[in-house]
Amino acid sequence: MKFSDEIINAYVDGELLGNEKIEFENMLEGDAELQKTLESLYALKAQLKNAYESVEPPAKPQYNAGNYRVAASAMFLLLTFAMGWFSAGVVHQQADVMVDAQNPGMRVIAEQPGKYILHISVRDKNKFKQILDQAEALMSSYQSNDQNIQLEIIANAGGLDLFRKDASPYVQRVKNLQKKYPNIKFVACSNAIERLQEQGIEPEFISAVSKDETAIDQVVKRIHQGWSYIKI
């Protein structure tokens, strides 16, 4: 099923509710193209937010529904071009968005050194290993050079299984990482948890995992704060 631009934008803005939201998220689980579209839109939204906050607002601005629709359409048109950032395999000259040449499956928004947010949204044992390997390599590299580092691993959708006691093949490894590197934060998306609960599933998580934030809010917040975003 193909969703309209309006539906996709409504989901990103948190305005899709009820059965429409459930249907969208069910389709999202198995639609890699839709997942990639959302990832790009989230990143673009964060960049636009950062840009607009540096602009002095006009006195008494007035908005109406028509203005909002135009803005939403313009954003989606911009997104269409932005998709090239992730597929070209090179750094876009006007944005800090790139694909790692050594690992095309890893998409990066590079900003401030020493602050990283790693994001996984798929149920894939190999990607689970990859994100933990990446986290450990970053932590080890910075610590061996006596440099400070802050790192968060955020999971949503199928990626949530990385942190579930009954589903993750890496429960002990996550625990070991948290014990070895106390400044790693593990975040399970609260929206994804809620969706499981709506299906009658009450997931049990590794004790080190935070469950209070949504993936999109945390990603947007960290990108705005200058953290480097790495999508596995």
Mean confidence (pLDDT) of the chain: 75
Instruction: Say yes or no: domain 111-231 is CATH 3.40.1050.10.
Output: no
Other CB atoms within 10 A of residue 129 CB = 15
The residue extents of the domains of the chain are 5-84, 111-231
What tokens were used for 225? Answer: 């704060």
Instruction: State the pLDDT at residue 72.
Output: 43
Residue ranges of the chain whose pLDDT lies below 70: 1, 6, 15, 45-113
DSSP the chain: -PPPHHHHHHHHTT---HHHHHHHHHHHHT-HHHHHHHHHHHHHHHHHHHHHHTSPPPSS----HHHHHHHHHHHHHHHHHHHHHHHSSS--TTSSEEE-TT-TT-EEE--STTEEEEEE-S--HHHHHHHHHHHHHHHHHHHHTT---EEEEEE-GGGGGGGBTTT-TTHHHHHHHHHH-TTEEEEE-HHHHHHHHHTT----B-TTEE-SS-HHHHHHHHHHTTPEEEE-
Instruction: State the pLDDT at residue 131.
Output: 96
Instruction: State the pLDDT at residue 48.
Output: 55
Chain-centroid distance, C-alpha 155: 8
